[in-house]
A = this chain, B = another copy of it.
Amino acid sequence: MSKIVWKPAALLAPAPAVIVSCQDGKKANLITVAWTGIVSSDPAMTYVSIRKERFSYEIIARQKEFAINLASEKMCRAVDLCGVKSGRNCDKFAVSGLTPLPCSKIGCPMIEQSPLALECKVTDVIPLGSHDMFLAEIVAVDVDSGLIDENGKLHLDKSGLLAFCHGEYFALGKRLGKLGFSVRRKPHHAASPK
């Protein structure tokens, strides 16, 4: 394959497409974010990068708390709305038809319709240019009970998560394998009776 060299661009994909919730006094707000990821497993830490001009920027900078709400296919329209509208002019929960639920460890709401939410406390704010990075510790995880089986195992793949790729939203498709599949030995078969 021949390669064409382009100038620097934010072309990492797929990215998660999530809705970040936050609250300042009585005003809760939502903002869609794709610039997010896990930065450490233990302690579990994440980040969201947000432009200074965004309404949620000031709220999170002041309150030092937010929740990351994973989004399902069904939430795609709400995800898009929360990315293009501003909370300065509207109530994002009302506009998007999403329902706030109290978090357990932080003072802002999570989204009831979200399959899984990460409750986060900001540990650092790093200015980088167009965006500031809010580094945060994950302090609790809220899981939709319908995704947990009778053995307590989480089936996140059943929630129809959204991905963001080069300006477009996609559903997750075919399952291709489990971490470690390339080196896993085939299971032993019991000798068949003769």
A interface vs B, CB < 8 Å? 1-16, 18, 34-47, 49, 68, 70, 73, 76-77, 80-81, 83-85, 101, 104, 110, 112-113, 116-118, 126, 128-131, 133, 135, 137-146, 148, 154, 156-157, 161-183
Contacts and interface: CB of A to CB of B under 8 A. Distances in A.
B15 A113 contact: no
Contacts of A166: 154, 156-157
Nearest to A173: B173
Identical copies in the complex: 2
A110 B175 CA distance: 26
A7 to B, nearest CB: 7
A4 B142 contact: yes
A70 B142 contact: no
5 contacts: A3-B145, A9-B141, A36-B37, A40-B129, A84-B180
A-B complex: 3 closest residue pairs judged by Cβ atoms = A173-B173, A37-B37, A40-B128
B182 A10 contact: no
A174 to B, nearest CB: 5
Contacts of A148: 4
Contacts of A117: 3
A164 B13 CA distance: 11
Contacts of A68: 12
A131 B43 CA distance: 9
A180 B80 contact: yes
Nearest to A70: B13
B104 A172 contact: no
Given A168-B177, A177-B168, A47 B37 contact: yes
Given A12-B37, A39-B128, A173 B175 contact: no
